[in-house]
């Protein structure tokens, strides 16, 4: 059984209902979540470098630095994915907060974290 082609097809209308408002509290909650995640990722990276630099092999400290960079890439992917999904499907305020929070926190947290990691690596290599 075949159906005749539909030449008058159009894009279906959006679902009925009022447009969801963007709540400021939810935006700030998203920003806070990302800043907390940035702090945790920086602390994990710094701890890995500190543990690696205390060992006899200085390459272990560099692995901690690579871990910090990998954590930042994973956090970027998570914030981008979850932010877009939340904007499209659930809560536009929280999704927008995740995207804004990552953009703002990436300017400060990783720079400080990677700077501390490099200082620890250099300190471990000179002694």
- Over 60: is that where the pLDDT of 125 sits? no
pLDDT digit string (tens) for 44-95?
887 887 777 776 666 666 777 788 889 888 989 998 999 888 888 767 888 8
Distance, in Å, from the CA atom of 27 to the CA atom of 29, rounded to the nearest integer, reads 5
Per the prediction, the chain carries an average pLDDT of 79
Report DSSP letters for 42-74, one per residue. Answer: HHHHHHHHHHHHHSS-THHHHHHHHHHHHHHHH
In a domain? residue 18: no
| Residue 10 CB partners (closer than 8 Å, separation 6+) | none
In a domain? residue 15: no
- Over 80: is that where the pLDDT of 111 sits? no
pTM as predicted: 0.69
**Structural domain range at position 84:** 24-126
| Residue 84 CB partners (closer than 8 Å, separation 6+) | 95, 99
Domains of the chain: total: 1
In a domain? residue 105: yes
The dihedral over CA atoms of 102, 105, 108, 114, expressed in degrees to the nearest 10, equals -60
Q: What is the pLDDT of residue 28?
A: 92
In a domain? residue 48: yes
């Amino acid at each position: 059984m075949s159906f005749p082609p539909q030449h008058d097809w159009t894009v279906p209308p959006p679902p009925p209902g009022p447009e969801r408002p963007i709540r400021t509290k939810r935006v700030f909650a998203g920003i806070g979540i990302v800043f907390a995640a940035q702090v945790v990722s920086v602390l994990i990276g710094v701890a890995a470098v500190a543990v690696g630099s205390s060992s006899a092999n200085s390459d272990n400290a560099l692995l901690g630095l690579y871990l910090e960079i990998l954590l930042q890439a994973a956090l970027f992917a998570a914030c981008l994915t979850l932010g877009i999904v939340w904007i499209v499907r659930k809560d536009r305020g929280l999704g927008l907060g995740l995207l804004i929070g990552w953009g703002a926190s990436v300017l400060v947290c990783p720079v400080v974290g990677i700077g501390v990691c490099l200082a620890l690596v250099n300190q471990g290599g000179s002694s």
